[in-house]
Amino acid sequence: MKKIKGFFLLNLAFALFMFSACVQTPNDQANKTTEANKTTTGNNGKIKIGFSMATVKEERWQRDRDAFKAHCDKMGVDCELTFADNKPDKQLSDVEQLLTNGIQVLVIAPQDAVQAAQMVEKAKAKGVPVISYDRLINSDKIDVYISHQVPVIGRKIAEYALQKVPKGNYVMVYGASTDNNAHIMKKEQLAVLQPAIDKGDIKIVADQHITDWKPEEALKFAENALTQNQDKIDAFVVSNDGMAGGVISSLEKKGLTGKILVTGQDAEIAALQRIAEGKQTMTVYKPIIPLASAAVEAAIKLAKKEPLADAKDFTTKIGDKDLTVKAILLEVTVVDKDNLLTTVIKDGYVKFDDVYKNVPADQRPKQ
């Protein structure tokens, strides 16, 4: 009888042990959750940032990609970058995958400012902060907009054109209609030019938003504008360097390079070379490394739930409504043939030999 009782007690103890092993305490569950989070948010608990880029086709965006990744490495954070090839649906899919991969902060350089608002909603549903990078997303739910002074860029381009060509026929070459930056610059450019338009000093003989900022589309538009105006155009007010390249290609076919003012933005090497050669008149230099670095550092603060002390209210009109967001906007500089040496070359942004590659040695400025 004692043997039977002992056997029963032994079995009971074993059953209780097995039952306790199968039941997870709250601490056990929390530990497992923490380990899972480490797996999805980076190596050994590192902050993980996702950067969804609309494109890296242009030199300018390649610089953003490289500078962003380099600063992530410097700051000891993980980052995952995706490139949407100028396709809004692909960018949405990219963002969904980044969120699935467990990013802690989402940075978006949007292809389509309207559709990108959906991406913000998806991130917010998962508690992920969002940075609108360079281009403004149509959403007041972004945590911060980090860019250069887009309104200032628009004004500087128009002011330069008006100073150099105070009278004559103007052609306005705007960026993509899906990009808020293009609309902001357009508004500022027209505000600068309007008094001269009202006086009759200048006349806008053609204007168009260029799909995806494509140089080949700008070329076609410029060709049509020249044909329709019997080549009597005094200034092409162009909103970026890629499109300026397209416009200049159309001028080259007619032997008009250097005879008509052409503006730009981004300080791409090809544009700086054209300025050195006298083919493009000016560009707007927007240092990329400070922009990318500011985005990474803001992302780190957002991941840590720290305040962004440098962010200020920024308001712009979207359609007939005002959009107000927090923003960090960096300064910009006008570059033309007269200050290539003291701006982009002095800053180390480009090398002297690269800028003057197509200029005969005896025609180059002294360093």
Q: Are residues 297 and 168 in the same domain?
A: no
Same domain as 346, residue 206: yes
Residue 165's domain comprises: 150-287+333-363
Looking at the structure, tell me whether residues 337 and 205 fall in a common domain.
yes
Residue 184 has what pLDDT? 96
Range with lowest mean pLDDT among 30-39, 160-169, 352-361: 30-39
Q: Which residues of 77-105 are buried (b: 16+ CB within 10 A; e: fewer)?
A: bbbbbbbbebbbebbbebbeebbeebbbb
What radius of gyration, in Å, describes the C-alpha atoms of the chain? 27
C-alpha–C-alpha distance, residues 317 and 327, integer Å: 15
Classified as helix, coil or strand, 325 is: strand
Is the predicted pLDDT of residue 5 greater than 50, yes or no? no
Residues 308 and 356 in one domain: no
Residue 263 lies in a domain: yes
Residues 117 and 241 in one domain: no
Report pLDDT for 4.
43
Q: Is 352 found in the same domain as 244?
A: yes
Q: CA 216, CA 210: separation in Å to the nearest integer?
A: 9
Q: What is the pLDDT of residue 65?
A: 97
In a domain? residue 4: no
The pLDDT, as a whole number, for residue 42 is 52
In whole numbers, what is the pLDDT of the chain averaged over residues?
Answer: 90
For residues 305 and 204, membership in a common domain is answered with no
Q: How many domains does the chain have?
A: 2
The stretch 274-294 carries a mean pLDDT of: 97
Tell me the pLDDT tens digit for each residue of 17-53.
Answer: 443 443 443 343 333 333 333 333 455 589 999 999 9
In a domain, 36, yes or no: no
pLDDT tens for residues 223-240? 999 999 999 999 999 999
Nearby residues of 227 by Cβ (< 8 Å), 6 or more positions away: none
- Indicate whether 218 pLDDT > 70: yes
Q: Cα–Cα distances in Å, from 93 out to 2, 96, 122, 124, 129?
A: 70, 5, 11, 16, 18
Percent of the chain with pLDDT over 90: 86
Residue 256 lies in a domain: yes
- Domain at 321, CATH number: 3.40.50.2300
| Residue of 290, 320, 284 whose CA lies nearest to 175 | 284
Please, which residues have CB within 8 angstroms of residue 332's CB and are 6 or more apart in sequence? 148, 149, 152, 153, 156, 284, 285, 286
Q: Is the pLDDT of residue 93 over 90?
A: yes
Identify whether residues 155 and 282 lie together within a single domain.
Answer: yes
Q: For residue 45, what pLDDT is reported?
A: 81
Quick check: is 239 in a domain?
yes
Task: Tell me the average pLDDT across 183-203.
Answer: 98
Q: What is the pLDDT of residue 73?
A: 97
Percent of the chain whose predicted confidence (pLDDT) is above 70: 88
Q: Is the pLDDT of residue 209 over 70?
A: yes
The per-residue pLDDT for range 244-282, each reduced to its tens digit, is: 999 999 999 999 999 999 999 999 999 999 999 999 999
User: 100-124, pLDDT tens digit by residue?
Assistant: 999 999 999 999 999 999 999 999 9
Q: Are residues 189 and 262 in the same domain?
A: yes
Among 129, 126, 123, which Cα is nearest to 144's? Answer: 129
My answer on whether 278 and 292 are in the same domain is: no
Please tell me the predicted confidence (pLDDT) of residue 217. 98
Residue 40 lies in a domain: no
- Report d(CA 307, CA 209) in Å as an integer: 37
| Residues 50 and 135 placed together within one structural domain of the fold | yes
Residue 28 in domain? no
Whether 12 shows a pLDDT value over 80: the answer reads no
- pLDDT on residue 41: 44
157 in the same domain as 140: no
Q: What is the pLDDT of residue 320?
A: 83
Three-class DSSP category at 343:
helix
Assigned domain for 309 exists? yes
Residue 260's nearest CA partner among 186, 343, 350, 173 is 173
Give the Cα separation of 302 and 26 in Å (integer). Answer: 29
